[in-house]
Amino acid sequence: MKIRIKFSKTGCVKFMGHLDVMHYFQKAMRRAKVDIKYSEGYSPHQIMSFASPLSLGHTTSGDYFDIEVHSTGTSDEMIKRLNDVMVEGFEVLSYRKLPDDSKAAMSLVAACDYEVSFREGYEPADFEAFKKDFTLFLSQSEINVVKQTKKSERLVDIKPLIYKFNIKDKTIFMQLASGSIENLKPELVVKAFFDYKQSELSQFALLIHRTQMYADAGDEEHRVLIALEDLGEDIL
């Protein structure tokens, strides 16, 4: 049986790297006595895969990982069992059964929602002016930035990768392309704006919170985004 688990990561644990988060949840499965399936061979490991790594220092209330189990309780029971062994900062939000032919979350991610705000002491002096200028910047037909890779750098138009945006109560909401084919980080969008304004963005200025991950159920012409948890159903 395939299970998709949604979780949050906030507070001090935002400084845990992705590998440490993986190891933490492997231990949590054992503490919560989840009947998780193991691989075969000389070095069996839990069958567990995460949708997308979260950058160090970012928080989330919409990250996912998939597991396979031999047996399970109801969704409510399993959420309670897991949260009973969680440390402060981690919380399991949903536990849903997937169809047998469902693809792994990591291969489905097509977009993510982010909330971006400025750390205290790093806010723009005139936020209303920033809001107006940032909105005009993102409304351009093209937004070309230099994107660095391990071996080189290239000029990329990131405008098609920005699906939605708005600013409310000093928080920037952005829905951005994500996944193995196209991937855009929110900090790159904000930095592109500061470069455009010929201003410097401190590396400590931004607080970034991921709120949701989506799969694309549309076709080449029409994008239809569905939250990863909505591809499964609660176990009653």
Instruction: Indicate the DSSP class of residue 38.
Output: B
Domains, the chain:
2-107 (3.30.70.580), 110-230 (no CATH)
What distance, in Å, lies between the first and last C-alpha atoms of the chain? 15
CA-nearest of 95, 111, 117, 87 to 10 is 87
| DSSP secondary structure letters along 54-116 | PPTT-EEEEEEEEEEBS----HHHHHHHHHTTPPTTEEEEEEEEPPTTPPPHHHHEEEEEEEE
What is the pTM (predicted TM-score) of this model?
0.93
CA atoms within 13 A on the CB side of 187: 16
| 180 pLDDT above the threshold of 90 | no
Confidence of residue 193 (pLDDT cuts 50, 70, 90): very high
pLDDT confidence of residue 141: 93
Q: Return the minimum-mean-pLDDT range out of 151-155, 161-165, 174-178.
A: 151-155
